[in-house]
Structures are given as C-alpha cells and as structure tokens.
Amino acid sequence: MTTAEQAARRRTFAVISHPDAGKSTLTEALSLHARAIGQAGAVHGKAGRRGTVSDWMDMERDRGISITSSALQFGYRDAVVNLVDTPGHSDFSEDTYRVLTAVDSAVMLLDAAKGLEAQTMKLFGVCASRQLPIITVVNKWDRPGLDALALMDEITDRTGLRPTPLTWPVGIAGDFRGVLDRRTGDFIRFRPTAGGATVAPTERLTSAEAEAKEGDAWREAVMEHELLSADGYDHDQQEYLAERTTPVLFTSAVLNFGVGQLLDVLYELAPAPGPRLATDGTPRAIDAPFSAQVFKVQAGMDSAHRDRLAFARVCSGVFHRGDVVTHSQSGRSFATKYVHAVFGRDRETLEVAYPGDVIGLVNAGSLRAGNTLWAEEPVEFPPIPSFAPEHFKVVRANDPSRYKQFQRGIDQLDQEGVVQVLRSERRGNQQPILAAVGPMQFEVAAHRLEHELRSPVTLESLPYSLARRTRAEDVESIERRTGTEVAVRGDGAILALLTNRWQMQILERDNPTIVLEPLVADVADGSAPTP
C-alpha cells in the first residue's frame, strides 16, 4: 500500500467535552466496539474503575483525573483509527488545545441534560481557530434531559455552526429506544445489555415496522426529522468539512447505544490526513518524505519509566523505527531507536507509522512542543500557539542554596508547557511568575519541582486574570497604574497583566494609543481566537 493509501485510511481525532459529559466512558465504548480490548473499563477510566491505566502521578490517581495525552490506535472496517486522548479536567485545557493541533477532526460530546457548557464553548472556539471539522454527540440520552430540537437551536445560536443530525432519537431523553437513521429513514433499535458491558446489539427496522413497534415515539421522531429537513438541517459533506455545519448523533455511552453509528460516521465522513502547511506557507504533501510535529512533551509519566516522552504526529511520509531524522529547530540529527505507541501506561514498541499516526519518542530531551522532525527534505511547521493564561502566581525556591536546580526546573516546565513562565524586571529571575490556563497546572508544576527536580517551592497568588500583548513603548503607562504589571514570556512577547476587563478599559481610555491585544486563542472571554 502506498503512503497516500495508508494516509487515506487513517482517521485521527480527539473526543473533547466539558468534564463529566462522558468522554472516558465513550473512549472505552469506542475501543470496545472496535474490539481493541476485551471488556469495557480495561483501557481508560477514572480512579476506582478497574485498570486505570492513564493516570501517572499520585496526584492524578487521588483526584481521578488524567493529565497525560496519548493515542489509542485500532482498526475499524478497513480504516485505522487514531483516538488521541485529552485530559479529563478542564484545568488542563491547555493540553487539550495542543492535542487539537495533532488531529484532523474532533468529536464534541455534550451532556443531554446540560447542553452547551463553559468548556464546550471554549472548545468550539479552539476548533474554529484550528479549522477542525466537528461531529457533535449528544450523550446520556438514556437520562432525562433537554428537548432535542431545542438543543439544535442552542447549537445554532451559540456556536454559529448549523447542526445536521445524522440520527434522531426515538423516545425522549430518558426513554431512549433507538435512533432514526436520517440518511436511510430506517429505525435502528437498541437493545440493552447488562451494564453495557458488551457491544449493544442493534436491530434495523423499516419505517413501517418501527411504527408498528414504537407507535407515537416513532411518529414523533419522523415528524421532527421532516421538520429538520424542511429547515435545511441535512448533512452536506462539503459544509461539514468547511466547518459550517456539524453532524449530530445521539448516544448513551454508558449503555453503548449509538457508539457503532459514531464509528461508522467517523469512518465514512471524518477527514483523512491531508497536506500540512509549513511555516513558509507551502504544503507538505502526504507522500513527501517523513515529517512530524511534536505536540506534547511529557516527563515522569510513570515510575516504571522515568523519562521524557515526546508525542509527535506524523504529517508526511513513512516512519520506520530506527530512522535517523533531523530536528528542525536545532538542526541536529535525532535517532529513533526507541519509539512507542503509548496509551496510558501501556507502551508498545512501534515499528512503522504513517501520516495521522502518533509516535511517542523516548528520552527526547531536546524536543519541545511545536518542534518539527523531518527526513530528506527540510520542513518546519508553525509553532503551536501559547494559550491565554487566566491564573498567575509568583514562584520562589524554598531553599535559596538550590537556586540552580530551581532555575533548571522552571525552564524545563516552561519548555514542556506545563505552565508558562513570565519574568519581570521588578521581580527578577529569583521570582518568576507562573501563568496557567487552569489552576491545577500550578499543582503539577509545584509537585514536579519538589519531587522530580528536587527544588521545593512556594507559590503566591497574584490578583490578575487577564493577559494582553503590549509593546515596549507602552510599558511605562501600564506600570504607572496600580494593580497592573508587565512581564515577558519565553518567546519574547511582552504581556500586560491586568486584574479585569474594567481596568483594561480604563487604561485604554486614559492612553488612547496603547496596544493591548488579545493573545492567540484568547477564547476564555468568548472573543474569537485568531490563529
């Protein structure tokens, strides 16, 4: 099979959601359905569930959250599915945003009772900035929830995407009997199994058979389906790929209902890897020589493997273990003897990978998120944007005699993207500012500084909640105002740290020429992110 044919059968996507919508449950259900594993619960889960394999730190285990990103690969029909894992906790949303640079599409999971939640909205914004097509899945339909049509209106009004349901629930939320397959008009009837522990059997019935069996519930679904069609809420592949519409499916991940349909839709509709634009604007063709982009570096993933893993997505060509590739940023060659496919705690040596696949490079001390690896023909992909931090703390070493370890540790956390590190003249190098998208990033940073980098620290909260990019000539007017501060990020960006939006408006009013630009992917306040 050629590289292009291998790429064409890849489906690389991430499941994203507000916490608790059922992401872990759906991940299990998907892999179970594809028969990658024997029994639900063995691959991924929260604390307390059997075989919690994606937790790597005690802190994670205690809290039942997963911090690492990795990819689960399984075959489905004649496709190769790469499900790239994202952290479950919204405090690690910066990691989720990075993962979204490595996938070709996203599955957005909604809780049927809650609809669009805060994190859902941010994620829709990030997908828009990454130009990622989204399939929306309304989960937990086995429980009482919102009206399906009202939910479609909410999606239309709040995301700007037109929802185009591919299936429509038969039975209201809480009475989930099956779905109307809107492309064929058939009824897909679900039959529960004990605890959803095996693939839920489905039955396909004609409309007439469905009407005889389900009566009013079926007639209601048909009527709503016709209403949707009359209003133009039907799937159009080009519109979906252009991110103007979002196909919608209804599921109960916990009962395994609708999971098979989701896999079929991913197989049939989700985009395969395509050429990726290099920094100079030229596309790197899928069948060009090997190239990959690192999207995450993770250290100390578990005590059995105390090392650094860099996760990279193959963008072009074929990767063979042992290939010597070039690290674009340093110009050095990089040997790839130790390459793994990683999911949670499980590692498997990987021999070959194609565009869309995720490789875990072991002991990749020199690699940073955003870096490019290539063979034969040089290429460099654009850096991964740093996301707008909303939380800020000053960090100090508890033991001043270990200042060197402290500095090294801080630099390492910055490079790995665990937190962003800002420095200011006012505070000097002894007291950098850590900036985070979610406050739990600080806990990870402090934990790692103490246990791994042997430099216990004290963190002190700062009152800021907003960072804006500014210019050197504006620094004086910003610092003159009390309750503000200017600091410089690792990439040289000068950031004004502000307590709130009011303060920013006053600054702008008093200094009409001042520049206070939103940061890339500044999605927190709902403003559209710009790439």
Residues binding ligand G4P (CB under 6 A)? 17, 19-25, 46, 88, 139-140, 142-143, 252-254
Burial of residue 422, with CB atoms counted within 10 A of its CB: 0-12 exposed, 13-18 middle, 19 or more buried: buried
Our CB check for ligand G4P shows the closer of 259 and 449 to be: 259
State the residue for tokens 């939006």. Answer: 501
Residue 259 CB, nearest approach to ligand G4P (Å): 10
Q: How far is the CB of 167 from ligand G4P (least distance, A)?
A: 15
CB 247, CB 265: distance < 8 Å:
yes
Distance CA 179, CA 192 (A): 14
Of 173 and 294, the one with the shorter C-beta distance to ligand G4P is 173
- Distance from first CA to last CA of the chain, Å, rounded? 35
State the Cα–Cα distance between residues 296 and 251, nearest whole angstrom. Answer: 31
Q: Which amino acid is at 152?
A: M
CB of 117 to ligand G4P, least distance (A): 11
Q: Of the two residues 141 and 319, which places its CB atom closer to ligand G4P in the complex?
A: 141
How far apart CA 359 and CA 434 sit, in angstroms, is: 30
Least distance (Å) between residue 320 CB and ligand G4P: 35
Q: What are the start-end ranges of the H helices in 231-362? A: 237-241, 259-269
Q: Which is nearer to ligand G4P, 46 or 213 (CB)?
A: 46
CB atoms within 10 A of CB 192: 14
Nearer to ligand G4P by Cβ, of 164 and 252: the residue is: 252
Closer residue to ligand G4P (CB): 162 or 189: 189
Supply the minimum distance, in Å, between the C-beta of residue 222 and ligand G4P: 24
d(CA 530, CA 126): 9
Backbone angles phi, psi at 209, to 5 degrees: -65, -40
The least CB distance from residue 486 to ligand G4P, in Å, is 38
* Closest approach of ligand G4P to the CB of residue 481, in Å: 41
Q: Which two tokens stand for residue 504?
A: 């920013």
Residues 251 and 2: their CA atoms lie apart, in Å, by 36
Cβ of residue 62: shortest distance to ligand G4P, in angstroms?
A: 16
User: At its nearest, how many Å lie between ligand G4P and the CB of residue 49?
Assistant: 6
CB nearest ligand G4P: which residue?
A: 22
Cα separations in angstroms, 233 against 75, 148, 152, 248, 286:
31, 13, 9, 10, 33
CA distance 66 to 80: 25
Q: Edge-to-edge, what's the strand order for the sheet holding 391-397?
A: 457-461, 391-397, 433-436, 420-423, 485-489, 494-498, 466-469
Query: Reading across the β-sheet that carries 167-170, which strands appear in turn?
Result: 167-170, 178-181, 187-190, 202-205
CB of 263 or CB of 449, closer to ligand G4P = 263
Which CB atom, from 139 or from 484, has the smaller least distance to ligand G4P? 139
Least distance from C-beta 485 to ligand G4P, angstroms? 35
Beta carbon nearer to ligand G4P, 253 or 435: 253
Q: What is d(CA 160, CA 138) in angstroms, rounded to the nearest whole number?
A: 17
CB 333 within 8 A of CB 327: yes
Provide, rounded to whole angstroms, the least separation between the CB of residue 253 and ligand G4P: 4
**Residue 21 vs 520, nearer CB to ligand G4P:** 21
Asked if 496 and 503 count as a contact pair (C-beta separation under 8 A), the reply is no
Identity of the residue, 65 or 367, whose beta carbon is nearer to ligand G4P in the bound complex: 65
